[in-house]
Amino acid sequence: MRFEDDIFGDLKEYKVWSDESDLKENDTVMLVNSNCEFPYDNIKGCFEKHSKDLMYCYVCELEILETDLSGYVPEKSNNGGCYAFAECRVVKVIEKSY
């Protein structure tokens, strides 16, 4: 298992959440550490107020292009800061749901 898998989760079947209705191979998405408790729009790369704002869920295979672990503190990264971020390329869209 890679270090990034511990932080971001399974990149072979990652759930990408967004209010955007179109995601395809080679698009770029942004990730936040997997234990983050706030809704995060992976396509826009921003936090949302409510999880209901994230209408679409794409199960994707991803490849990490770049990570930003500069502010990451594991003990504080679930609900209010100190997050880890990654920019990823969509290798494959496996499924789309609403």
- Give whole-number Cα distances, 66 to 27, 49, 50, 80, in Å: 14, 26, 27, 22
- Per the model's pLDDT, the better-predicted residue between 80 and 30 turns out to be 30
Q: Is the pLDDT of residue 28 over 50?
A: yes
pLDDT confidence band for 25 (50 / 70 / 90): very high
Predicted confidence (pLDDT) per residue in 59-69, tens digit: 999 999 999 99
Q: Mean pLDDT, the chain, as a whole number?
A: 93
Q: Is the pLDDT of residue 5 over 80?
A: no
